């Protein structure tokens, strides 16, 4: 009886101690590429930073977990997640049906959009106030696109009568826009800003359309990847992301690198 | 590897939309290139160093550099200069078709002039002398004696260059032109079936080459009508 009492006390003491302590120090490992400017990369001093990294830290702060980053090559990212090398992928991974078969995704924290770039002050009026394209004003304009991209699909769907020129690389798009061979181009606004508009050669040009999102064409966007059996954690991450959107943190993160936000504030598919 | 035959049959009509551009490029640059080649030939055989040396340098330059590089220099390089963009040539150089035609013309012109020179040098000396003995002027000797023979000798080599030119037009697809190769590459990017699509393209090029060969064969026969029995 005495022995049983001792044992019971020991279980109680240790058990209770075990319950109190770890809750304060949940540890989550986040896989990222660490080489993808400006989303996840190291500065010259070797400090890991970028939009993805900021998002990861923001989420961890809200759910109260400690974060360790694990650098992982892109092509092994999903296998490493499935092998439990880390708990989450926060690495600019686009949400696709194919990936969804293997892993789960959070709501998007970065959206896939396309945007037109053209000469400043050209008054092209390509789009109406409500954001719908105005096909008549595309007439007579040469439109540069990358071959067989989602942007080409967008143009085919929305302005099929446009005069299109197809390019093989993103760089060639900017070259010919600059040279005047094309009047407008449609591409990824982040690329356009980093490679062209923010540079000297792009200073005579600007975005001439709103950010065009069409989940059917461009996909849903970029989300946090997580193994399939962790619905609890996924729910907490989704709530944290929703809060980061609401309190303006995501916008703050993107404004470090771009003059525009790169997430969708009106995302309605939360928890989908 | 699972070859999808229906994809080949399906893609050929789509590819033929690029056939027009390919043929335009081919014939335009062939005609212009031939004129340029004749002009260069006359410079080279003029016997005056200030004419033959520039022609020699030109030929050396265009035969010594890859045609893809020439296309890129003309298409991507020239517009970097403000004065070219302001010049009267800009309406031509602005268009990828103009750039491709120019590059192909300049390139084929260099080769053709050498082919024609080979034909010219192949004409026997005795024929010149016979012409002289008949009292023909230098111009008449060149037009009526040398040229018909030189052309006959040059035909096989020229048909070679013409066929090369046909295939060189495919490089125009790298500067946004939707010729047959450009159309094929667009279809490949959509269907992810490079094998089937490029085989179809190869078939079309081969059919075209067949007709070109036949055409030159007939021309050669016609030009040789007084030689062979």
Query: Which pLDDT score is estimated for A20?
Result: 44
For chain B, what percentages of helix, strand and coil (3-state, to nearest 5) are there? 85, 0, 15
For residue B226, pLDDT beyond 90? no
> What residues form DSSP beta bridges with A136?
none
Of A165, A179, A180, nearest to B176 by CB-CB distance is A165
Establish if B84 touches chain A: CB-CB under 8 angstroms. no
| CB contacts, 8 Å: A181 with chain B | 79, 94-96
Query: Which pLDDT score is estimated for A271?
Result: 37
Query: Which pLDDT score is estimated for A19?
Result: 47
Instruction: List all residues 6 or more positions away from A170 whose beta carbon is below 8 Å from its beta carbon.
Output: A146, A187, A188, A191, A195
Q: Which CATH architecture has domain A115-217?
A: 3-Layer(aba) Sandwich (3.40)
Query: Which pLDDT score is estimated for A10?
Result: 54
**Cα–Cα nearest to A137, from A107, A156, A162:** A162
Of B95, B96, B186, nearest to A147 by CB-CB distance is B186
Establish if B147 touches chain A: CB-CB under 8 angstroms. no
For residue A17, pLDDT beyond 80? no
Inter-residue contact B180 to B19 (CB < 8 Å): yes
Which pLDDT tens digit goes with each residue over A120-163? 988 888 998 888 898 889 988 999 999 878 898 899 899 998 99
CA distance A38 to chain B (A): 28
Dist. CA A92–CA A124, nearest whole Å: 33
Instruction: Name the residue with tokens 């030119």.
Output: B165
| CB contacts, 8 Å: B94 with chain A | 179-181
Which pLDDT tens digit goes with each residue over B78-137? 998 889 888 999 999 999 999 999 999 999 999 999 999 999 999 988 998 999 999 999
pLDDT (mean) for B39-63: 96
| CB contacts, 8 Å: B186 with chain A | 147-148, 166
Would you tell me how many other CB atoms lie within 10 Å of the CB of residue A70?
Answer: 16
The three state secondary structure string of B70-81 is HHHHHHHHHHHC
Please indicate whether, in this complex, the C-beta atoms of A147 and B189 are within 8 angstroms of each other: yes
Establish if B37 touches chain A: CB-CB under 8 angstroms. no
Dist. CA B175–CA A166, nearest whole Å: 9
According to CATH, the superfamily of the domain at A22-111+220-255 is Periplasmic binding protein-like II (3.40.190.10)
Indicate where chain A has its CATH 3.40.190.10 domain(s).
Answer: 22-111+220-255, 115-217
In chain B, % of residues over pLDDT 70: 98
Highest mean pLDDT among A178-182, A199-203, B160-164, B190-194 belongs to B160-164
Query: Which pLDDT score is estimated for A43?
Result: 92
Q: What are chain B's domains? A: 19-179 (1.10.3720.10)
> Band of the pLDDT at A37, cuts 50, 70, 90?
confident
């Amino acid at each position: 009886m005495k022995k049983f009492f001792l044992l019971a006390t020991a279980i109680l003491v240790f058990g209770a101690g075990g319950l109190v302590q770890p809750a304060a120090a949940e540890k989550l490992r986040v896989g990222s590429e660490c080489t993808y400017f400006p989303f996840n990369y190291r500065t010259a001093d070797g400090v890991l930073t970028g939009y993805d990294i900021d998002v990861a830290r923001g989420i961890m702060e809200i759910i109260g977990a400690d974060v360790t980053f694990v650098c992982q090559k892109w092509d092994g990212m999903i296998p490493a997640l499935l092998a439990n090398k880390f708990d989450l992928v926060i690495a600019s991974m686009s949400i696709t049906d194919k990936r969804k078969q293997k892993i789960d995704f959070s709501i998007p924290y970065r959206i896939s959009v396309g945007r037109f770039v053209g000469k400043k002050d050209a008054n092209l009026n390509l789009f109406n106030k409500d954001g719908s394209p105005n096909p008549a004003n595309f007439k007579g304009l040469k439109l540069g696109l990358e071959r067989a991209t989602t942007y080409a699909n967008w143009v085919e769907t929305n302005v099929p009568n446009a005069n299109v020129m197809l390019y093989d690389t993103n760089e060639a798009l900017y070259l010919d826009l600059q040279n005047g061979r094309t009047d407008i181009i449609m591409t990824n606004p982040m690329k356009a800003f980093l490679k062209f508009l923010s540079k000297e050669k792009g200073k005579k040009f600007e975005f001439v359309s709103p950010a065009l999102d069409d989940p059917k064409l461009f996909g849903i966007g970029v989300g946090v990847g997580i193994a399939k059996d962790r619905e609890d954690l996924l729910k907490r991450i989704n709530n944290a992301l929703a809060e980061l959107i609401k309190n303006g943190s995501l916008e703050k993160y993107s404004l470090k690198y771009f003059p525009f936000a790169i997430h969708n504030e009106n995302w309605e598919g939360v928890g989908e | 590897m699972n070859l999808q035959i229906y994809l080949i049959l399906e893609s050929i009509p789509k590819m033929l939309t690029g056939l027009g551009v390919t043929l335009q490029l081919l014939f335009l640059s062939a005609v212009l290139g031939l004129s340029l080649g004749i002009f260069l030939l006359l410079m080279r055989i003029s016997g005056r160093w200030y004419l033959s040396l520039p022609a020699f340098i030109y030929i050396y330059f265009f035969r010594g550099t890859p045609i893809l590089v020439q296309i890129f220099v003309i298409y991507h390089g020239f517009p970097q200069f403000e004065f070219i963009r302001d010049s009267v040539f800009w309406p031509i150089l602005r268009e990828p078709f103009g750039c491709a035609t120019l590059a192909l013309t300049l390139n084929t012109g260099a080769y053709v002039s050498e082919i024609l020179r080979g034909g010219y040098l192949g004409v026997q000396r005795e024929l010149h002398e016979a012409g002289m003995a008949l009292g023909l002027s230098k111009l008449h000797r060149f037009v009526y004696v040398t040229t018909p023979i030189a052309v006959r000798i040059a035909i096989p080599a020229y048909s070679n260059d013409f066929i090369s030119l046909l295939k060189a037009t495919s490089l125009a697809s790298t500067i946004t032109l939707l010729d047959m190769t450009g159309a094929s590459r667009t279809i490949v990017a959509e269907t992810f079936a490079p094998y089937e699509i490029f085989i179809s393209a190869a078939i079309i090029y081969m059919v075209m080459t067949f007709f070109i060969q036949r055409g030159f064969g007939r021309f050669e026969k016609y030009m040789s009508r007084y030689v062979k029995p």
